[in-house]
Each structure stands twice: as structure tokens, then as C-alpha cells.
Chain A
Amino acid sequence: MTSTPTISVSNTQGKPITPILDVDSLRKVYNQGAANENLAIDSVTFSVNKGEFLCIVGPSGCGKTTLLRTISGLAKPTVGTVQFEGTTLTRVPDGLGVVFQDYARSLYPWMTNLQNVSLPLKARGMKKAERLRRTHEVLDSVGLSKVANQYPWQLSGGMQQRVAIARALSYKPDLLLMDEPFASVDAQTRFDLEDLILKVRAEYGVTVVLVTHDIDEAVYLSDRIVVLSKGPSHVREVVPVELGEREQLATRSSDGFLTLRNHLLELVMPR
């Protein structure tokens, strides 16, 4: 298989890269045919490789949430296709984790953090002992084993976000989608959460697609950045990021980081 030159692309280690997600000419119109018809996404094409960390940046209202909803199978594209692990998406696939922009409303307030995190495992028919073990393990990896039996609303915003991440990781998805996950927390918490997501990504070997409007964050986290135009959006450019091992202070002050950052700023703020 490795010797099929027509489709094989290799990264630096020489391993073949297979796309886990393929978005082709995706267009999304809300309320088509009605008086309040609204073109949210014009045409977006990109693909995500297995194991990759991909950020999607774009200005507010350009259709990022709409794009993630369509990728996750929650909404249907008006035109174009989304392929997940080689098959065209018709409903929400099993191997997909999502952290919503509105994480506070996405965690169920009538369940404890432990119950929230183990809910997808229950839905997958996992036995109780295994389920508890897995739930504690994943709460542990986001540093929240102490609050397992509390309710989400008893936690700070940053902690709630970590519960949401733990829940999305509990069933070991192949692809994790995150919609502006760190938008509503303070700067310190934000840095901690960024490092946390890089850590669990390595731990779980999960592919991540993260939406943000913070360019610094995108550069810090990604292997590649998809830059969207203002709405109705199309892809302006796909920017590869090669910064090696990340460390908040060192990475953010490195030349490579600053060059990329300026390039992206020019893309989103054209003169």
C-alpha cells in the first residue's frame, strides 16, 4: 500500500497520511426558498489527516459553528459532501466527539460530573465496572477526579469546560471537534486548557479540529490552519504550522510563531 504514489502523501517520518475527514465544496443555506434565506457558507473545501491538529479561524459570524454542525452530522449540507473515515456522512457517526461553544448548556445540570462523563459510555452499552474505570481515568487526565460527584453548575467555567472535554474523550473518539472551547475563560485558564488539550490529544491519539477566532491560539495549537473569509465563507488559505514542541512562553515568543501570526493577521485583516 505504501507504494501507491498517486494518492500517498508522506509526512516527515515517512508514514502515509490518510484523511479522516474530507469536506468537499460544502455550501450551507439556511431557510432556503423562504424570505429569510441566509447563505451562511459559500463553498468550503479542506481535509483533515489522521492524528492532525487542525484549527479553523475566521471572523465572528462567518459560519464556523455552522461548519462544525455540518461536519458532525447535526446539520445537512445544502451542496457538497462530508466524508468521515471514507464514508459520506448521513448522521452523527459513533467515533466523533464534540465540545460545544455553549458548554455550560451542553453539560446536563441534572447529572453529576461523573454521570455526565459516563453517559456516552452507557449509551454504548459498556459494563458498569469498565465504565466507572474509564470515567475516572478520563476525569483524572483532565485533573478533575476530585469533583466527580459534584454537579457541573458547582464548578467554575474552566472546570466545566474540562468536564465537557472529558465527556467527549471518554468514548475514545477518532475525531474531536471543538467550537471556540476557550472563548469564555480568563487568559491564565486559557493557557492551561490549551496545554491540557495538547496533552490529552497525545495521550488519546485523537485527531482534533478546533474552531477559534483567536489567531495566537490557532498558531499555538495547530499543525495546520484553515483560514476562512468573512461570511458567507470560503477558504482563504490553508497555512501549515511547523513549530515543534510547544511551551507557552517560548513558543509564543519564537520567530516562527511571530512570522506565522503576522501572516495570518494579514489574511484576516486585508488592507
Chain B
Amino acid sequence: MIGPYNSEVDDVSFALKRVLPPVLVIVFILAIWQVLTVTKVFSETQFPTMTSTMAALGNALVSPILWQAVGATLEGWIVGLIIASVLALIVGSLLASSTLAFRASAATIEVFKSIPAVAILPIVILVLGSTMNMKIFLISFGVFWPLLIQVIYGVRSMDPTVRDTAKILGVRGVRRFLVVTMPSAAPYIATGLRIASIGALILAVVAELVGGAAGIGRNILIAENGGSAQYALMYAYIIVAGFLGIILTGLFTLIETRVMHWHESQRNARSNEESAK
């Protein structure tokens, strides 16, 4: 680079290049929304105006009702995700360690993976009612199978040199699982978890919206049942649910770059960033 480095100018141009375009797109969409509703292309009973939705969102953000709902959704999300992950890691590693076990169980796993979790919702509600446990069960069941498959493939794709090294160094049992098997399968597991975290959020909202468990999904349903006067609030909740998805995805990506800093893909990304400067 020629000339003195000026961080202020750099930051401003960065902001213009990176931040401005998406903001403009969002502003544009919001404007269209407002125009379509104010000009009655969509009537109030179908679609609230953008401004009234934003007002409802503003009100909701300062009321404890929204935050209790968000809390209930996140509780189901995290507990379900943890249960599914722990089970998938243990069961997956065990199945992957033996070719016979892997072959024997592959068909069963494939069948269970193909059942949409929503399809078992009626029976789950029947057994557990509209409770937090129902939500947690639905989430655990739904994300366990795809996670299990990721773990099995991750463990089975271990580099033979990595495996032989562990044998030569005398690393066995639980230590081997924790410091060799898991890190070596980590890229697969990370992908599985990123997908599972979104799946878990969707299932949480479904369990609330259809199954009646407390959370943001049930609040959407209640607002909908409140008639057209409540539509703005319903959309406000939907927007909140969308933001939850974005935040959770961002959180996972952040954790992944931290935990997987040693992995080739992250190293390449870093060095590409370096050379692009």
C-alpha cells in the first residue's frame, strides 16, 4: 500500500461497502410494504401497515410478555439440542466404531431420519400434553437423527494416519474419544450442529404454534386469534422469531470459528482475508 495508513478513512469506506447495500435493500422492502398497505392493495384485515407493525414491535420489546415467550422458546431449544447432541455423540461414536453395528443400524436410522418430526406431534401431545417436556421431546427427536448421521460419518471418515498415530502413542478409551475422535470428527459435527440449531428452533415454534406449549409460537397463534386488531402484534412476533433464527445462526458460526480455528478451512479463510487486505 502506498501512502500512510488511515484507519478512519478505511473504516468509513468499509462501512459504505459492506453495511450500506443490505441496509438499503431492507429499507426498500419496508418502503414497498408500507406503500402496498397504505394504498390498500392489501387491506388492513390481510396485512397490517409497516408502521403499525413496527409500533407493535416497539411495544412488545418493552413488555415482559415477549421476553417470557422468548425465554420459553430458548429453553426448549437449548435443552432439546443438548439432549440430542449428547445422545448422538455417544450413540454415533459407538455405532461408527464397528462396521457391523454401522451396517446393521443404517437402515433403521434412515427410516427414523425420514419421519418428519411434525408427523409425530399428535401422539407426543397426547402423551405429554402442551408442556415444555413435549416441546423438548419433539426437538430432541427431530434433531437427533440428522445429528447422529453426521457423527457417524465424521467418526468413520477419520484419517487412517490419525488413527494409527493414536494407537502408536498408546491413546485409548475415553481419552482417545475426547482428544482424538471428537476433534477429528469436529468438522462434520459442527455442520450437524449448525443445521440442528435451526431445526431445533423451527420445531420449538411448531411445538408452540401447533402443540400449544408456551413460547413465541403460541404468542403468534394467540395474536392471530385476537382478530385483525392484533395482526400487527402477530407480525411483530414473527419478526422476533426471524431475528432469533439469525442470532442463533450467528452465534453458532462465531463458536465454530473459535473452536475450529485449527481446521484447514478456517486457516484458509484467515489467510485469504490476510492477502485480500
Contact = CB atoms under 8 A, between A and B. Distances in A.
Given A96-B168, A120-B171, A108 B183 contact: yes
A97 B167 CA distance: 11
Contact of B161 (A105, A119, A123, A171): A105
Contact of B162 (A97, A105, A123, A124): A105
Interface in B166-193: 167-172, 175, 179-180, 183, 186
Contacts of B159: 105
Given A92-B168, A94-B170, A100-B165, A109 B180 contact: no
Contacts of B162: 105-106, 108
Contacts of B172: 123
Interface residues of B, number: 20
Nearest to A92: B167
A74 B168 contact: yes
A160 interface: no
A108 B180 contact: yes
A196 to B, nearest CB: 21
B21 to A, nearest CB: 35
A72 B168 contact: yes
Given A109-B263, A123-B175, A92 B161 contact: no
Interface residues of A, number: 25
Contacts of A94: 170
A243 B168 CA distance: 33
A119 B171 contact: yes
A100 B166 CA distance: 12
Contacts of A123: 169-172, 175
B164 interface: yes
A153 B165 contact: no
B237 to A, nearest CB: 41
B169 A167 contact: yes
Contacts of B165: 100, 106, 108
A8 to B, nearest CB: 33
Interface in A77-110: 92, 94, 96-98, 100, 102, 105-106, 108-110
Given A105-B161, A108-B162, A110-B186, A153 B267 contact: yes
A122 interface: yes
A221 B242 CA distance: 67
Given A105-B161, A109-B262, 18 more contacts: A69-B164, A74-B167, A74-B168, A92-B168, A97-B168, A98-B168, A100-B164, A100-B165, A102-B161, A105-B159, A105-B162, A106-B161, A106-B164, A110-B262, A119-B169, A119-B171, A123-B169, A123-B172
Q: For the complex of A and B, list the 5 residue pairs with the smallest distance between their C-beta atoms, beginning with the closest.
A: A120-B169, A110-B183, A105-B161, A123-B170, A98-B168
Interface of A: 69, 72, 74, 92, 94, 96-98, 100, 102, 105-106, 108-111, 119-120, 122-124, 151, 153, 167, 171
22 contacts: A72-B168, A94-B170, A96-B168, A98-B168, A100-B161, A102-B161, A105-B162, A106-B164, A108-B179, A108-B183, A109-B262, A109-B263, A109-B264, A110-B183, A110-B186, A119-B169, A119-B171, A123-B169, A123-B170, A124-B170, A151-B262, A171-B170
